Every structure is written in C-alpha cells, then in structure tokens.
Structure 1
C-alpha cells in the first residue's frame, strides 16, 4: 500500500539524512588519528594527504562519468553499491596495518561516496522540489554532522580499543544502517537508461565550468581543515582529542551555516548575499589563523565552519537553480565532478606547503587568497542572468547546457 504523501516525504527526508551521514567520516576520522597512524605505518605528510585527496578526487571523477555510467547502472544499484563500498572499506580498515592498504581503502571508500554523492542533489531536487533550499540545507547539515561525529568520536573509539584501526572502522555501523534503511524504504529511483547515446554532459558550457571551479575552490577549505586542523592543533601544543574537538566545533557551526543562512534568506531568490556573507565569515577565520593562531583557535574555527557550511549548501542550490528541468541533476553532477577534483587538490597543496615551510601558515594564506578571489567571482551569479548563461544548444550537449 502506498504511503500517504506526508509520511512518504518524512520517510524520504529521514533516508536522505541517513545516507548523508555516511559521506564524510572516511575523511574526518583520519585527522585526529594522524599522528598515531604515522607512528604505526611510517606514512609522511604528503602521503597522508592522499587519504583525503584520493577520495575527493574519486568524488570528482565519478560524477563526470555519470552520463556514461547511467546507461548501465541504475540509481538504485548506484546507491546500494556506494553504501556497500563504504561499509567494505570501513571493515577493511578494522584489520589493515600498512600505509599502502590504508591508501587503497581510501580509494574504495571514496568510490562508494562518489556514487552516492553524485546522485543526491538530483534526488533532493526531485523529492523536495517545492522546498529545495531548505532540503539542501538539511542534506548539507546531515553530511557535515556525520563528518563532525567521526572527528570527535574516532579518537575516543581508538583509545577505548587501543587501536587506531577501530577509530576508522567503526563507521561501518552507520553505513550498514543506511543500507538496511534503503532496502526497507525502497524509494522510487530511476532504472538504467539503456545503451543509447551519451547525454547530459556539460563540458561545452562556460557557465557550468565557472560553477564547478567556484564550487571546488570555496569548498577546498573544508577538505584542508579536515586533513590538517588536528595536526595543526597538535603542532601548536594541543592534543589529539583537542584537535578532534576543534573539527567537531567546526562541524557544529557548519550545520548552523548550512541550515541557518538558507532559512534566514528563504524569501531571497538571489543567492549572492548569502554567499558573500558566508565567504566573508570564512575570510575572517582564516585571517585569524594567520595573524593570531594561538589567541582564539576556537573562534577562528567556528567562523570558518559557519562559512563553509553555508557555502556548500548555497553553492549546490545556486547550481540547481540554473536549470529548471530534470537536467539540473546532471548539471549538479558535473559541477560536483570538476569541483571535487579541485577540492581534492587543495589539501594536497596545503600539505606540500606544510612540508616545505615547516608550519601551516602558508597553507592558511593559500586558503585566504582563494576566499578573496571567490568573493569577487560571486558577482557573476545574478539570478536574472541564469537563463542567458545556460542558453544555446550545441552538438552532443542537451538543450540548456551550453555557454
């Protein structure tokens, strides 16, 4: 018997949250345990950066292949397979003891996250079309909450079991719960579209490329903070628990930013004021880390977290609103694809700067300059220019996907 509309919407909302909670622990559980991992495996800082960079690069490559993959892989199989890959990687991490295996597990987990994450904006748009900004805020908040829980609890779980592997592998549990929930709910998902021609890519669209680069750079601060904030805190005299606590604090303010700013601006169709405020808040935090890193680390991290949370939510909403059609999901996949490749490169560059300079100040300077640049680029996204920016069909690209 079909669910009543309200019950069905609530069920889909809970499913969205359950899935989103699994999309960041593979990244955020590493940082607080990094020194233990380095001591045990001998992995260096640049190699350790791969534990964040490689999954994020997977999150970029898979969405770019989505127009081709969807000919053979249905949404249902991609969702279940992605959650299964996350669970498999976490299980492997319970037993591995080498840097090579750890990096390989990061790739497996990253592929799982990539398949799920590529689907979610399109599904959110389809399931909650009338409340897109709020639904995207809840999705973003759940995604960030999962990352924050992993950062705060991972080191405590590892300490309780006297093994850093336990702090990484425990995230098998929420992955299995989300997988079970998906099997029970059986949401209406599209089947694979057959072996027809490739469609739905945006490689010929200048606006799609601008949105992708924008998304990648304004979210590069997140992967950098997740990768290096705990190590930075230990470098200035803090503990592993304290570093994980800072990531947890950042997550609280990310959730506030992801939910609060869309709610505050719910009657405003122009996303630029929200993005300017979010970027300015990030800028204040990174300047604080540069000029007074030991004065009030919690304040700087809170400001950065609020800005990052709002930027993620608003930038995805901005992307989807460029196309009022089913193609919006494909555009979001393209933007995430290119964007996450850029987002994955940023923490690697930050780790390289840490290696050659001996501290993280050069890394924070890089992120500060990036935020300044994105403040200027935000001017381009006036809502009355969406249609013109996306207009003009081109061979091999769907209508509304070019320029």
Structure 2
C-alpha cells in the first residue's frame, strides 16, 4: 500500500497542495496596495508599475508551456520544490527597500517559481485523485485565491508597521513552511520523485503538444483562460490604485482588494462543492461571467456608492471563473498525461495573454490619468467570452 493511498497520506498530500496554493499569489497581490508608496520611493511610472504584475504573469505563461518537459526532466517532487524555493527567494530579496531593477528581477523570479508549481501540480492532482479531480482542483484554486486575499489585506498593515519592503519580504516565511510540508508529502510517494516519467518520453510529449496546438478547441480554451485570468490580473494590479486616486487610504484600498479575494474564496469553494451537479459547465460559466460583467460596470458607474456590491460581483465572477476554466480544460481529457499537457498548454498561452492586461492598463493610466478605459475594455472581452462559452457543450469535448 502506497503512502498516498492511506488516510494520513492523503491528508498530508491535500494539506501540502493547499499550502502551496496559498503561496502562489501573495508575491503578486501584496504589490498593488503598496503601489503608491513603491512609486514614490522608486520613481517608477505607471507602465513600469504594470510590469511588476505583467512580468511574473508572462513568466508563468512561458514556463507553463514547458510543463510536460519539466515533468519529464525534473519530476513533480523536485520541480515543485524548485518553484517554491524561487518564490521564497524572490520575496526574501525584497527586504531592504530594493530599487526598480531588483523589483523587476524578483517579479520574474516569483513568476518562474509560481509557474513551475502551477505547471506540475495538475499532473499530481490528476494522478493522485483520479476519482474526483474536479473537486480537489477547485479546493486548490480556492487556496490560491485565499493567498491573494491575505497578501492584499495584510501587506498594507505590515507596511504601516515597518516598511513596504518588509511587507513584501515577509511572505518568504509561509513559502518556506509550504516547502517543508511538500517535502514531507512528496518523499513518501515514489512517483513524485525527480525521476522522469518513462511512460511519456520527450518524443511523445512533443507530439502530444504539437497535436494540441493544432486543435481549435485548445485555442478556444486559451482565450477563455487568458481573458478570465486577465480580469484577475487587472483587478489585482490596479484596483487599489484606482481607489486611492478616488481618495481612499492604501489600507482601505487593500481591504477592498482583500474583500474581492475573500469573495473569490467563497465562490471557489462553491464551485468545488457544487460543480459535480453540473456536467454541462456552460450554465455556471455564463452565470459567473454575468457577475464579472456587472462588477466591471459598477466600477465604472458607482465605484464608491456600492463597494460591497463591487466586491461580491467581482469576487464571484473572478473566483469561480478561474477554477471553472481549469475544470473545463481537464474535462477534455481522461488520460492524466494528456490532461496535464492540455492544462499546461492552456495555462501557458492563457497567462501570456493575461500578462498584457496590467501593462496596457498602466499605459492607459499614464495617458488618461484614469483606469475607466481599462474596465470598459475588459467588459468587452467578457462579452466575447459569453459568446464563446456557448460552444463548450459536453458533446464537444469528445469531438474536440
């Protein structure tokens, strides 16, 4: 009997996955509530400030495209280990009020670490929990959202107590705790070692990847994931500065972002609990896209009159859309290797697309001194996704 087939083993595995998920966003979410202080200290422009989110998201996309190669070369255990080490190192290097070059370098390093973990964890989840990958994927993504909420809500308070660089650097500590728990889980499971998976060699992996990119459905899923994640990165990078420009304090703006992230956690948990009741995922997708569109409209029309409504609508839309897109992607393949390859392709292409949103918004802010145009543009993209969602019937999974 393997360690992960026991109750204790599965508890350790799930705990490790959730704790890693908690560490996949604070390095990003902690930036935006402190962006005014960072710009004042370093003198960076709005476009450069957008790069602090764009660069890690871009690194995540490029690294995710190599998910199959990483799994074959490093294995799940050491690939995810290196990813968490990179996250911890990126956070630690932010101590001591770093300048713009160090901030940009740590943004790339954090993005690479996050990408390695995200690229390899779907393989681990699909193989370790084959009886219900959708539910555990929902929990894992919910943990990611919870980490974003903690990063946004706690960083302004930490900065007020010490400095903005201390607030960013302190997130190295939970990453090290996640690293220790992951090692405890992974070393007890033989298939999670650094040995490559001999059943899927490099030639077969490359052939699978080429075939996936020739399928129209792969590009449709990339568009779904990319725009959905783009909404998340846009809100993550620019919602607090949008509210500080309206006269809110950094702490209040950070709490606003934390409130959205908290609503994301609740909607992610709802997806995990109820997704099994909806074999046709189009209904849930259309519902959450409608919530997202309504939240963006509130940002444009009544940003200060109904902040709770903004939090709820954006939180439901973004928080449920992220796990739903991953679940729909995994639905398209029953073989764990192919599911992992498709997830890597969709996440890779999607993150590259999503990485454009923060820097484009920063350019709009530099030009118009406002972010309204960014919210309107994202709303138009959400309308496009609503039309695309109609194509994702369960029958189309087989034909795709």
**Band of TM-score, shorter chain:** over 0.9
Offset, 1:267: 1.9
Give CA deviations for 1:189-241 in whole Å, capped at 9, x if unaligned: 16224774253312222211110111100221110011001101101110100
- Deviations along 1:349-394, one digit per CA (max 9) or x if unpaired, are 12222221111110110111111110110001000111111xxxxx
Whether the 8 Å contact between 1:217 and 1:339 is mirrored in structure 2 is yes
Deviations 1:175-196 (A, max 9, x none): 1001111122224416224774
Cα distance in 2 for partners of 1:218, 1:67 equals 23
Distance 1:203 1:96, change over 3 A: farther
Among 327, 334, 356, the residue aligned to 1:345: 356
CA offset at residue 309 of structure 1? 0.8
Aligned to 2:309: 299
Let me know the Cα RMSD of the aligned residues: 1.6
Work out whether residues 80 and 121 of structure 2, in 8 Å CA contact, stay in contact via their aligned partners in 1: no
Deviation by residue 1:70-92 (Cα, 9 ceiling, x = unmatched): 44322221111011111111110
Which structure 2 residues correspond to residues 4-403 of structure 1 after superposition, within 5 A? Answer: 5-161=6-162, 163-186=163-186, 187=189, 188-189=191-192, 191-193=195-197, 196-197=202-203, 198-199=205-206, 200-201=208-209, 202-326=212-336, 327-389=338-400
Q: Deviations over 1:54-79 (max 9, x none)?
A: 00001100111233344432222111
Q: Which has the higher helix share?
A: 2
- Give the superposition deviation at 1:153: 0.6
Contact 2:267 2:319 in 1 (8 A): yes
What is the TM-score normalised by the length of structure 2? 0.93
Q: What is the CA distance between 1:20 and its match in structure 2?
A: 0.4
Contact 2:84 2:179 in 1 (8 A): yes
- Which range is displaced more, 180-189 or 311-320? 180-189
Alignment check: 8 A CA contact 1:134 1:259 kept: no
8 A Cα contact 1:93 1:168, kept in partner: yes
CA distance in 1, matches of 2:85, 2:361: 31
Q: How many residues align?
A: 388
Q: Is the 8 A contact 2:90 2:110 kept in 1?
A: yes
2:269 & 2:109 partners in 1: Cα distance?
Answer: 30
C-alpha separation in 2, matches of 1:116 and 1:123: 10
> In 1, distance between residues paired with 2:11 and 2:70?
30
SS in 1 for 2:332: coil
Relative to structure 1, is the Cα distance of residues 307 and 196 closer, same or farther in structure 2, using a 3 angstrom cutoff? closer
Confirm or deny: 8 A CA contact 2:60 2:114 kept in the other structure. Answer: yes
* Stretch deviating more after TM superposition (245-254 or 200-209): 200-209
* CA displacement 1:101-146 (0-9 Å, x = unmatched): 1101111111111100111222222222222222111111100101
2-structure distance, mates of 1:365, 1:32 = 22
Alignment gaps of 5+ in structure 1:
390-403
TM-score (norm 1): 0.93
Equivalent pair of 2:29/2:236 in contact (CA under 8 Å): yes
